[in-house]
A and B are shown apart, each in its own frame.
Chain A
Amino acid sequence: AQSVTQPDIHITVSEGASLELRCNYSYGATPYLFWYVQSPGQGLQLLLKYFSGDTLVQGIKGFEAEFKRSQSSFNLRKPSVHWSDAAEYFCALNNAGNMLTFGGGTRLMVKP
């Protein structure tokens, strides 16, 4: 069975510092992977996606993620965090037919 794990429930970083959010997955084939962001009271916005090819993918808002098959990971990074990045971040896996399996989420807080 497929699963997605986000080991960090909460992360706090200072504004301007770099950020890495961890995501590990379990799936028997090549996964389609996604990162979504959710601001309080809002729906989910797609940050980036990995289907195949280049393992480093660029997304919106200056985010990037790297797919590492050997580690079953798809970590999200940003070189310099802005206060507006404070939100909940979800990693997700598409196993078949556009059905997403989500991780439990990581809540990012940004210190001024």
Chain B
Amino acid sequence: DAGVTQSPTHLIKTRGQQVTLRCSPKSGHDTVSWYQQALGQGPQFIFQYYEEEERQRGNFPDRFSGHQFPNYSSELNVNALLLGDSALYLCASSTPDRGTGELFFGEGSRLTVL
């Protein structure tokens, strides 16, 4: 049973560019959340997708956008990259069983912005 898979694992971009990160959820999961983890900090919630719609959003600017596909996989897009966007981006999947909050995380995509 494959867990949560993310791609790419590492990437380097320059300021002003755009990036797309991809996530496939764990089998049987239909809810995908994205988190940003800056160096030395805890993960910060970006947004969550369920039924191909953004259901919740954290305190991130509109430069951060996402999408969920019918097969439940998801993309995170970041436009007009800033140096401060350098971080580990974690994808997590779950079932819509609200309240339990058990998320399964991928290994992340490490983005470096130069």
Q: Which residues of A are interface residues toward B (Cβ below 8 A)?
A: 4, 32, 34, 36, 41-46, 49, 51, 90, 92, 94, 96-105
The secondary-structure label for the interface of chain A is strand
Q: Which residues of B are interface residues toward A (Cβ below 8 A)?
A: 4, 31, 33, 35, 40-45, 48, 55-56, 58, 90, 92, 94, 96, 98-108
Cβ-defined contact, B55 with A97, below 8 A: yes
Known: A98-B31, A98-B33, A99-B45. A32 touches B108 (CB 8 A): no
Cβ-defined contact, B48 with A51, below 8 A: no
Residues of A within 8 A of B108 (CB): 42-43
The secondary-structure label for the interface of chain B is loop
Closest CB-CB distance, A33 to chain B, in whole Å? 9
Considering the complex, give the chain A residue whose CB is closest to the CB of B45.
Answer: A99
Cβ-defined contact, B42 with A105, below 8 A: yes
Cβ-defined contact, B105 with A32, below 8 A: no
Cβ-defined contact, B98 with A44, below 8 A: no
Whole-angstrom CA separation of A103 from B42 in the bound complex? 6
Closest CB-CB distance, B98 to chain A, in whole Å? 5
Residues of A within 8 A of B56 (CB): 97, 99
Whole-angstrom CA separation of A102 from B45 in the bound complex? 9
Cβ-defined contact, B101 with A34, below 8 A: yes
Considering the complex, give the chain A residue whose CB is closest to the CB of B43.
Answer: A102
Cβ-defined contact, B100 with A99, below 8 A: no
Looking at the complex, which one of A4, A41, A45, A100 makes contact with B101 (CB distance below 8 Å)?
A100
Considering the complex, give the chain A residue whose CB is closest to the CB of B31.
Answer: A98
Whole-angstrom CA separation of A51 from B101 in the bound complex? 9
Whole-angstrom CA separation of A96 from B100 in the bound complex? 9
Closest CB-CB distance, A34 to chain B, in whole Å? 7
Cβ-defined contact, B103 with A32, below 8 A: no
Closest CB-CB distance, B44 to chain A, in whole Å? 7
Known: A98-B33, A98-B48, A98-B94. A44 touches B100 (CB 8 A): no
